[in-house]
Amino acid sequence: AQSVTQLGSHVSVSEGALVLLRCNYSSSVPPYLFWYVQYPNQGLQLLLKYTTGATLVKGINGFEAEFKKSETSFHLTKPSAHMSDAAEYFCAVSDLNDMRFGAGTRLTVKP
Amino acid sequence: GAVVSQHPSRVICKSGTSVKIECRSLDFQATTMFWYRQFPKQSLMLMATSNEGSKATYEQGVEKDKFLINHASLTLSTLTVTSAHPEDSSFYICSAPLSGRRETQYFGPGTRLLVL
């Protein structure tokens, strides 16, 4: 069975500050890991994913995440927040047969 | 990139009526599509897996007779909420994997259902 835990349902940062959204996973097999962004009343947009290979994954809009097997983590970061980054972010884990989503983290960016 | 559309984007209906939501893969074929439900400020919960040419696979706790799924073609899956009640009000999202690969899954924009 797989599961995802996102620490912090709400994160608030100032514009230009570092963004760090935390995600820890549990999986009995090597996981595929994802970060999605959701804007109000819209579907999910893939930010980035880890399947195999390089553990530091770069995505769209300047986001990146690092797969750390020893810590079972896949935290999402962005060096400098932009107002347009304000949204809901979901971490997900998949073993290709099933996909589980975290509860989500709402990112607020203050001017 | 691949696109998945949903129609309608928003629907308001009276209690007791049925509502059909369409999910289309616009530029690729999808033998499998997934239907999720999302309550306000919560994550996505998988409701069912729609399979082209065969019956849908429902997650535990999801009523098959309540949420009818039909995967009519390789680009279209429909979810019908039968005899809708206010507690069915939610955001319904579909997704389709490209080439059947779950790690390349494209999501529709969602359908907001409000049952009065």
The total number of residues shown for chain A amounts to 111
| Structure confidence by residue, pLDDT tens digits, A47-94 | 999 998 899 999 999 999 999 999 999 999 999 999 999 999 999 998
Alpha carbon distance A76, B31 (integer Å): 32
Going from the C-alpha of B56 to that of each of A53, A100, B25, B39, the distances in angstroms are 34, 19, 17, 22
The predicted-structure confidence for B71-87, as pLDDT tens digits, reads as follows 989 999 999 999 999 99
Cβ contact, residue pair B102, A94, below 8 Å: yes
Of A51, A90, A102, the CB nearest to B103: A51
Backbone dihedral region of A53: left (phi > 0), alpha (psi from -120 to 50 degrees) or beta? left
As a 3-state breakdown, chain A gives helix, strand, coil percent values, each rounded to 5, of 5, 55, 40
| CB of A42 less than 8 A from some CB of B | yes
C-alpha distances (whole Å) from B105 to each of A95, B33, B51, B95 are 13, 9, 15, 6
Q: Do the chains contact at B109 and A102, CB–CB below 8 Å?
A: no
Residue B86: helix, strand or coil by DSSP? helix
Q: What is the pLDDT of residue B94?
A: 94
Closest by CA position to A26, among listed A85, A59, A73, A83: A73
Reply yes or no on whether the pLDDT at B1 is more than 70. no
Give the model's confidence band at B99: pLDDT under 50 very low, under 70 low, under 90 confident, else very high.
Answer: confident
The model's confidence at residue B2, banded by pLDDT at 50, 70 and 90, is low
8 A C-beta contact, residue A102 and residue A6: yes
Q: Tell me the two tokens of residue B110.
A: 């969602």
**B6 CB near a chain A CB, below 8 Å?**
yes
Residues of A with Cβ-Cβ distance to B105 under 8 angstroms: 46, 99
Return the residue of B nearest to A98 by Cα. Answer: B102
Write the residue in A32, A90, A97 that is nearest to B43 by C-beta. Answer: A90
A–B interface: beta-carbon pairs under 8 A: 48
Give the Cα separation of A46 and A33 in Å (integer): 11
Instruction: List, for residues B4-25, the tens digit of each pLDDT value.
Output: 999 999 999 999 999 999 999 9
By C-alpha distance, the chain B residue nearest A106 is B41
In whole angstroms, give the CA distance from residue A57 to residue A35: 11
DSSP state of B59: P
pLDDT digits (tens, 9 = 90+) for A30-56: 889 999 999 887 888 999 999 988 999
Query: Taking CB atoms and an 8 Å limit, are B91 and A49 in contact across chains?
Result: no
**Whether B30 contacts B53, CB under 8 Å:** no
Beta carbons of B77 and B34 less than 8 angstroms apart: no
Of B33, B88, B98, B94, the closest CA to residue B62 belongs to B88
Direct distance between the N- and C-terminal alpha carbons of chain B, in angstroms, rounded to an integer:
37
